[in-house]
Structure 1
Amino acid sequence: MVTRAPRTAAAPDSSAAAIRRLAERGYDATTAEDLADAVGMSRSTFFRRFGSKDDVVFADHDQALAQLESFLETTQLPAGEALVEGTADVLRLLIRDPEAARLRSDLMRHTPSLRDRELIITHRYERVFARYIREKLQPCSPGWAAAALAASLVAVHNATLRDWLRDRVADAPRAVTRDLRQLTALFEHWLSPEAAEGGRRVLVAVYDAAGSPDAVLGAVAAQLGREQ
């Protein structure tokens, strides 16, 4: 897939106003001129800022992806907590304007081309997560761990967003943080150097050099039994 150069981030109010116009007039019936008028821009400025009607709908996702990449590149948090916080911040951004978030969801549900674009956005999130996870995984990790965790992060985020849209949860960031911590705990063994070590301890045994091998092994076994 060809990666386009990122456009200048649109102001939240601009993209929200454009989404409202699309919802009022219908996706197919709304022209670029209609949207430019809705956001108070000239047609040429609109195309420089957004590019297309699709780009208007997904402007918040472009911003969220850029925010997520920046956060993961600079955070000093442990890997598991960084993934939780980064994902929760994406959700906060996407629902900061509740009306626009609900209108965007309705538009995507009724517009096949937008649903296709949504799949591409989903894969972009997964790639950002997987790249970070691969850098943090311990040598003992299985090859599928990064892809599995990246997909799971997106799945939990999307499930929480759907629950929020359907009024099943009131505090979506809190709910997704709770669920993501449960998810990342399943991968902690591969994300954390301490967990990968498994809490192993070194036992130093002092014994009589003249002792028999059986006596030495017996003493070590007895000490291990007390350590446990």
Structure 2
Amino acid sequence: MSDTTAAQGLSAAQAASRAAVVAAALELFAEQGFDQTSVEQIAQAAGVSRSTFFRQFGGKDDVVFTDHEELLDMLRDFLAQQHRDPWAAVCEASVLVYAHFAADPELARRRYQVVRQVPALRDREIVTVFRYERLFDEYLRASLPGLDPVDAVGFSALVTAIHNHVLRRLIRSAKKVPASVLRTALDDARRRFGVLPGDDAAPTADDVVVAVFPRATPTAEIVRRLREQLDS
């Protein structure tokens, strides 16, 4: 899947209009404060009507989190596709989200500063992060029948935590933090869970197959890999 924008379901004009409103809102929030900024001020700064604002967003807080709503929809579509390795698919989903915010780090920094200053926004951010984690958890359980729920939620939480850590590095630093940094960290997470495929030699046509897995490898992952090799 290519690194398309989260607003891929919208027309170019709609996406541009929403982006303008988000940028104007975050700038006003940073300058005046979240509570001190009215919807009318945001609409005027973005060059849209008040009614257009409410058609696009439910309220001021929705402006701050609109990217996440669109990204979650995008990830649901992505994970609904066929993926040979579910563990890798979850990591790739994380990279897709990161690529979206890394495309405009200044906007991400502005949003981060606004959220930090408003307790209600911080609370909503916690809930939003959990929604990513739950999406990954549910996908892994559905894709790997028999997977221990502890392994599913543990891996999902680890991927989400790593993603947020690297994203904060991007936001807090003046330097670029490439997606390769996230990919390397996610590979390490897969290695810790015993689900990072190694450079094993190609299987032969022997009647006996010997398989070696790290002790930490979940049983469902062992079954998946053995079935994949036996069916090939």
> TM-score, length-normalised on structure 2?
0.74
In structure 1, the partner of 2:123 is 116
Distance in 1 separating the partners of 2:82 and 2:227: 25
Cα pair 2:144 2:224 within 8 Å, conserved: no
Name the CA shift for 1:132/1:199 in 2 (closer, same or farther; >3 Å): closer
Structure 1: gaps of 5 or more residues: 1-7, 202-228
- The answer as to 2:103 corresponding to 1:73 is no
Provide the alpha-carbon RMSD of the alignment. 2.6
CA-CA distance at 1:137 after TM superposition: 2.5
- The answer as to 2:139 corresponding to 1:156 is no
In structure 2, the partner of 1:135 is 142
Deviations along 1:124-155, whole A, 9 cap, x unmatched?
1111111111112353x323111111111110
Query: Residue type of the partner of 1:21?
Result: L
Structure 2: gaps of 5 or more residues: 1-9, 196-216
Deviations along 1:24-48, whole A, 9 cap, x unmatched?
2211110011111122221111012
In structure 2, the partner of 1:38 is 45
In structure 2, the partner of 1:57 is 64
Cα pair 1:138 1:192 within 8 Å, conserved: no
- The answer as to 2:182 corresponding to 1:182 is no
Distance in 2 separating the partners of 1:135 and 1:199: 17
Larger Rg: 1
Distance in 1 separating the partners of 2:79 and 2:229: 30
Query: Residue type of the partner of 2:76?
Result: E
Name the CA shift for 1:162/1:77 in 2 (closer, same or farther; >3 Å): same
Identity value in percent: 35
Distance in 2 separating the partners of 1:195 and 1:27: 49
Name the CA shift for 1:38/1:199 in 2 (closer, same or farther; >3 Å): closer
Query: Residue type of the partner of 1:178?
Result: T
Alignment counterpart, residue 93 of structure 2, candidates 86, 90, 94: 86
Name the CA shift for 1:185/1:169 in 2 (closer, same or farther; >3 Å): farther
In structure 2, the partner of 1:209 is none
